[in-house]
Amino acid sequence: MARTTSLRLPSEPGRAAIRRAPRWLVPLLHNPLSLAGGAILLVLALSGAFAPLLAPANPVAVHMTALLQPPSAAHWFGTDNLGRDLLSRTLYGARISLTIGFVVVLTSGAVGSMIGLVSGFFGGIVDLALMRLADMFLAFPSLILAMALAAALGPSLTNAMVAIAITAWPGYARLIRSVTLSLKEQEFVAATRAIGAGEGRILFRHVLPNTLSPLIVNATMSLGTAILVAAGLSFIGFGAQPPTPEWGAMVAAGRNYVNSAWWVATIPGLAILLAVIGFSLLGDALRDILDPRMRWP
């Protein structure tokens, strides 16, 4: 006798909600992990946006009578080695770290995409020169190169963002170049060229829009990496400088108190972990939504 396998289907209210949702949201609603990633990022974004209203204390105010206080009703996340409230510093750190991620990704994504687009579309000596330039940057580990650039530019949050953006653009250039090489051989490009459209119109009106899906997915996943690298630069002193409440700098300040005051380094470290996981889960969801091979009923 054949054995049947029972499938767990959504309840009738759940199926009705999915049917009413926009088509591009259906993959998101089918994936609990992507919903969790979006919820994490929403909480972090709102925490950063409303930090002045949510923070119970000044994030840089020093209180010598409250050094290394454990989590309590007075200080939910405890205090650091200078008596500063860790909840307040973590909330303001969300604003700084998310800003770093978006600025780095927007800058490196825009520059790398344009280079990859031009390289893949025109080919020849242009492609050769631009890709060899990208290979020069890819020859070095990105974190080591970012450290060298940040050290050369001088330790500051702005210089750290510049250094990370400089090391990140080759990845976007390689991705968009590969997509462009495939797109320019498609029939719609040949048809557009046959009716007399110029190269610029073909490039920006027809090829560029079709590269946005993989670009958005890659950029979303890169946001977590940018936050992680920025935290690493701040940890070794090349990024945010005291008393800026940046998560990496907070972890660095608490590394000497791990045994006696674990919360000082652990709480900002967990914030970094949540941000990276949130962007990774959201990137997976966007890949499912934007993948043209996906078919949802």
pLDDT in tens, 145-176: 999 999 999 999 999 999 999 999 999 999 99
Name the strand (E) or helix (H) holding 227: helix 212-235
In percent, the amount of the chain with pLDDT more than 70 equals: 87
pLDDT attached to residue 189: 81
The three-class DSSP label of residue 79 is strand
- Average pLDDT estimate for 49-68: 91
**Per the domain annotation, does 167 fall within a domain?**
yes
pLDDT for position 13 = 46
Query: Mean pLDDT score of the chain, rounded to an integer?
Result: 85
Can you give the CATH number for the domain in which 106 is found?
Answer: 1.10.3720.10
Say whether 294 sits in a helix, a strand or coil.
coil
Confidence check: pLDDT of 9 > 60: no
Give domain status of residue 41, yes or no.
no
C-alpha 282/C-alpha 217 separation (Å) is 9
- Does any domain span residue 239? yes
CA distances from 253 to 81, 107, 267, 291 (A): 8, 29, 12, 43
Range 267-273 average pLDDT: 95
Given a cut of 60, whether residue 1 has pLDDT beyond it is no
In a domain, 61, yes or no: no
Provide mean pLDDT across the span 137-143.
89
Residue 223, C-beta contacts closer than 8 angstroms, at least 6 positions apart? 101, 102, 105, 279
Q: Look up the pTM and report it.
A: 0.83
Give 203's pLDDT tier (boundaries 50, 70, 90): confident
73 versus 23: the higher-pLDDT residue is: 73
- The dihedral region occupied by 154, where left means phi > 0, alpha psi between -120 and 50, and beta the remainder, is left
Give the integer Cα–Cα distance in Å for 226 and 223. Answer: 5
CA distance 290 to 271: 28
Residue 48 lies in a domain: no
* Band of pLDDT at residue 14, cut at 50, 70 and 90: very low
Is 271 in contact with 48 (CB distance < 8 Å)?
no
- Domain count of the chain? 1
Residue 227 inside a domain? The answer is yes
pLDDT band at 25, cuts 50/70/90? low
Per residue in 70-110, pLDDT (tens digit) is 999 989 999 999 999 999 999 999 999 999 999 999 999 99
Domain that holds residue 119: 76-290
Tokens at residue 4, please?
């049947």
Is 40 domain-assigned?
no
3-state secondary structure of 185: coil
Give the residue, 292 or 232, on which the prediction is more confident: 232
- What is the phi/psi pair of residue 85, to 5°? -70, 120
The residue type at 158? T
Q: Residue range 188-196: average pLDDT?
A: 81
Whether 28 is covered by a domain: the verdict is no
Average pLDDT over residues 257-275: 93
CA dist list (Å): 190 to 137, 198, 205: 34, 12, 14
Residue 35 burial (C-beta neighbours within 10 Å; 0-12, 13-18, 19+) = middle
Kind plus residue range of the DSSP H or E element containing 251: helix 247-254
Cβ-contact 184, 121 below 8 angstroms? yes
